[in-house]
Every structure is written in structure tokens, then in C-alpha cells.
Amino acid sequence: MDFGKNLATQFEEIVSSSAIDGYIRQKLECIRSDQDLTTFFRRFALYNLAFPGGVAMLAGAFHMRPDIFQDKQESFIDNMDRSSEIASHIIFAAEDEFATSNRKIRVTHRMMAQEMVKFAKGFSNLSDDAFAESFSELTDYQEQALAIRNGYRVYSLENERDMFLALGFHLASERLADIEFNALSDILSRNFPAFVKAARQVSGPQSIRIYGWIATHTTVEVDHYAYSLRAAEMALEFYTGEMHTKQELYGLILDGFHEFIQHQRNMFEWLQ
Ligand SMILES: [Fe+2]
Ligand SMILES: [Fe+2]
């Protein structure tokens, strides 16, 4: 298989030419007050809510297509399908989302995000009522959530074209999550040291530190991305369907990747 440049190289070029890192940092620098922090975390937490579901659905969609992902080198017919192996490399990113690393403590990243919002609210001395009043437009995130459902093609994952577009979307989301959380961590440490110090000392459910939500995401995303990249390589290698050429599938993955970068820009405009 020779598509000119391999996927990883191609993605790095897209990320660097998009200048998304600088854009994200510039947007995050606009957080100026404790009240801003609360607003930011509420929106950012809601924005992140949908991803694990999208990843799980995407993994399921690949898993259920043994008919189009097969290793033709395998001589034993019942061992030919590779769909579960591809799905495993996609679901890797979602496994972290639903539990801690030993899997028995079912603290989800969503729960950690909720604790962060609650903590930020307390830090800026907002009562629950004042918070509810400030954010009476409780539905303003639904457009973002819909964009993520659309990006992951949750309504059309039976369609091979959409599976590959969604895979590209997923790849970019993992690649950019690393950039985004590291930028956030840097800017919080620099501009809000008292907040960071307190969030590192206070614990939420199962004694997990409030700041753990951010700290975790500054490291796990590199692996999430690496595994999703392997999933894409395998999906291209083992595709045996007749709907698309491998060159077309490669292009669909890149299209999905570009789509997420644009989505990330829209999202940061909304966060602001
Ligand atoms: Fe997460
Ligand atoms: Fe991730």
C-alpha cells in the first residue's frame, strides 16, 4: 500500500499547517477571572460529554463488520476477520473514559468533569442558585453535542463511507485533545496558580483529586491517538469491501480529520 505519505506524517502536516495549537492557546488566554473559569469549565465539560459515546459507537460499528475487514493472508477461513482487532484499537480511547485504570473503580471522565465544574463554581463563590441563574440557558451546548454526534456519524455508521469519515474525525479529536489539555494545563498554572493548587488538594468521588481530570488528559491522549492510528492503518490494510478503493478510504479519513479541526475552531469560538 503506497498512498504517498503515511497517515501519521500526513496528520502532523495538517495539524501544523492548521496552526491550531497557537489558536487554542490564544483562546484560552482569554480566561481572565474566576467567574470566567467557571463559565469555561461548564462549557468545556459539556462539550466533552459526548465523545466517549461516539468512540464506543465507532468501535462497535467496526467490530460488527467482519464481512469487510479480512486478512487474506490467513488460510483458515474462520480466522480471517480482523474487525474486532480494529475495534479494539478504537475502543482503547473509550476504556479510560468509563473507569480508572484497574477498571473496578467506575469513576468516569464525565464524573470528574462534573466535579471540576462544581469546584470552579465554589472557587468563584457562586451559590448553586446563582450558578443556575447565570447559566439559565442550559441548552446552549446542545448544538455542540449534535456536531459531535454528526462527526462520529452516530446515525449512519452502517455506511462504509461514514465509518471512515468518523474514524478520521476520531483521530483528530484524540490528536487535538493532547494539544488542548496541555495548553489548558500550562495556562491555568501560569494564570491561576491558586486555583490549580486548591484543585490539586481537594478530592472528589473515590478520593480522586479534582485536578486529576486535567492532569490525566495531559498524558493519556498520546496513547489514545497512537492506538486510533493503528486502527486506521489496519482498517485500510484489511478492507476487503467492494464499495471503495483504498485510496478513497484514505481520502475519507483525511476528510474526517480536517472536519474535526474545523469543528475544534467552532467550538472554541463558542467557548469564548
Ligand atoms: Fe477523557
Ligand atoms: Fe482521548
Q: Which of 36-40, 65-69, 102-106 has the highest mean pLDDT?
A: 65-69
Give the type of residue at 249: L
Cβ neighbourhood burial of 226 (10 Å; 0-12, 13-18, 19+): middle
- How is residue 55 written as a grid cell? 468512540
C-alpha distance from residue 81 to each of 46, 194, 235, 239, 247 (Å)? 37, 53, 11, 10, 21
Element (H, E) at 242: none
C-alpha distance from residue 109 to each of 14, 171, 242, 255 (Å)? 28, 19, 39, 28
- How is residue 157 written as a grid cell? 455508521
Percent of the chain exceeding pLDDT 70 equals 97
pTM of the model: 0.96
Nearest ligand to the C-alpha atom of residue 214:
1
3-state secondary structure (DSSP) of residue 78: helix
pLDDT for 211-255, tens place per residue? 999 999 999 999 999 999 999 999 999 999 999 999 999 999 999
Query: CA 139 to CA 146: how far, in whole Å?
Result: 12
Kindly report the number of other CB atoms within 10 A of residue 207's CB atom: 9
Nearest ligand to the C-alpha atom of residue 178:
2
Going from the Cα of 93 to the center of ligand 2, the distance in angstroms, rounded, reads 5
pLDDT at site 3 = 60
Nearest ligand to the C-alpha atom of residue 226:
2
Going from the Cα of 221 to the center of ligand 1, the distance in angstroms, rounded, reads 8
